[in-house]
């Protein structure tokens, strides 16, 4: 029997940092992967569920830079390079199984004196739905928290747990147990973190029973 694959997530981070003047600030170094590398990002690997990762080096096929030469996603048939601009995106996780989890983190200093400061990013997600208990399902999570205290940034936590009823997700024609969300824009308001350093944490996880996947 062919082993079932696990969900994955294709992630492009585009940063728009705005002050009350609506002036766009410079993107932090390589926040958008436009160096074609993951410089200034920190890798993590571990298990799910819940997602638990520890610092690691890049894990082959689980931390992957994508470009225009990369193939389309086999489940959603969307490009693995975000079509909204840029030369590179980042794929977190893959379609393998094994209760694996992956993460990427970026430490971002919010400028002092900024009354308004937001991140805009684009993401795409692929999750297999084995109809397990929600605590055992594949998932994609986005978190922002104070790098020193660990306190979460208000209203800056996203969590997608595999389900056939997730808003904005479509059933894959390639596998009826897989649901995907094509490239979508989201934002995180960091205005309350004026002058502080924030950790941005993106993570994907397979099902805890080891047979199903998720990636972004």
The pLDDT confidence band at residue 127, using thresholds 50, 70 and 90, is very high
Residue 24 pLDDT: 56
What 3-state class would DSSP assign to 188? strand
* Residue 187, both tokens: 């934002």
**Which residue has tokens 């900024």?**
114
* Residue 131, both tokens: 């109809």
C-alpha dist (Å) from residue 169 to 160, 164, 179, 184:
10, 8, 6, 11
Closest by CA position to 132, among listed 164, 105, 107: 164
Closest by CA position to 211, among listed 81, 46, 100: 100
User: If you ran DSSP here, which 8-state letter would residue 93 be given?
Assistant: S
pTM, whole model, 2 decimals? 0.87
Closest by CA position to 129, among listed 80, 71, 181, 184: 181
Largest CA distance in the chain: 59
pLDDT, tens digit, for every residue of 57-71? 999 999 999 999 999
Beta bridge partners of 181: 125
**191 within 8 A of 70, measured Cβ to Cβ:** no
Per the document, the length of the chain is: 216
- Tell the burial category of 27 from Cβ atoms under 10 Å away from its Cβ (0-12, 13-18, 19+): middle
- Is 5 a residue whose pLDDT tops 60? no
pLDDT, tens digit, for every residue of 163-189? 999 999 999 999 999 999 999 999 999
The per-residue DSSP string of 10-64 comes to EEE-----B-TT-PBPPPPTTTT-TTSS-TT-EEEEEETTTTEEEEE-PPTTTEE
* Residue 148, both tokens: 């020193």
């Amino acid at each position: 029997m062919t082993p079932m694959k696990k969900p994955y997530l294709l992630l492009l981070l585009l940063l728009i940092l705005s002050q009350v003047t609506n002036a766009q600030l410079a993107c932090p170094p390589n926040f958008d992967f436009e160096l074609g590398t993951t410089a200034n990002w920190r890798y993590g690997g571990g298990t799910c569920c819940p997602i638990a990762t520890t610092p690691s080096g890049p894990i082959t096929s689980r931390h992957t830079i994508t470009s225009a030469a990369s193939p389309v996603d086999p489940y959603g048939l969307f490009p693995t390079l975000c079509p909204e601009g840029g030369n590179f995106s980042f794929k977190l996780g893959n379609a393998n199984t094994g209760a694996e989890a992956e993460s990427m983190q970026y430490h971002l200093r919010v400028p002092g004196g900024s009354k308004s400061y937001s991140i805009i990013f684009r993401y795409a997600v692929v999750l297999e739905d084995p109809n397990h208990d929600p605590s055992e399902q594949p998932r994609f999570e986005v978190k922002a928290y104070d790098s020193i205290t660990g306190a979460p940034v208000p209203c800056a936590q996203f969590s997608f747990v595999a389900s056939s009823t997730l808003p904005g997700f479509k059933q894959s024609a390639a596998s009826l147990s897989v649901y995907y969300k094509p490239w979508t824009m989201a934002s995180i308001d960091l205005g309350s973190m004026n002058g502080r350093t924030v950790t941005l944490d993106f993570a994907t996880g397979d099902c805890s029973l080891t047979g199903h996947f998720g990636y972004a």
